[in-house]
Amino acid sequence: MPVIKVEMFSGRSDDKKRALAKAITDSFVEICGGKPTSVHVIFDDVAKSDWAVGGELCSDLYPDQPATAEK
């Protein structure tokens, strides 16, 4: 049973997560084989204030940028 964990900034809609889960599952099955029902995708939504890059919080690095790339 493959488990694929996706860590990203919080704020994406359930529709975006559904589409991503399907795309990841379909790609895994196409490349590695197996049944789609055996592929588990776990989303770990993280606040920008709980993620740091280069010793700086992402909320400080990107204060004006929304947490999501949705348009």
pTM of the model: 0.83
Q: At 17, which CATH number?
A: 3.30.429.10
- The answer to whether residue 2 is catalytic is yes
Annotated catalytic residue, options 2, 36, 63, 66: 2
Domain count, the chain: 1
Residue 16 resides in a domain: yes
Q: What six digits make up the tokens of 10?
A: 């919080």
CA–CA dist 8, 47 (Å, integer): 8
Residue 66 resides in a domain: no
Q: Print pLDDT tens along the chain (71 aa).
A: 999 999 999 989 999 999 999 999 999 999 999 999 999 999 999 999 999 999 999 999 988 876 665 54
Angle at 22 between CA 19 and CA 24, to 5 degrees: 105
The boundaries of the domain holding residue 29 are 3-61
- Report which DSSP code applies to 2: -
Residue 17 resides in a domain: yes
Residue 71 resides in a domain: no
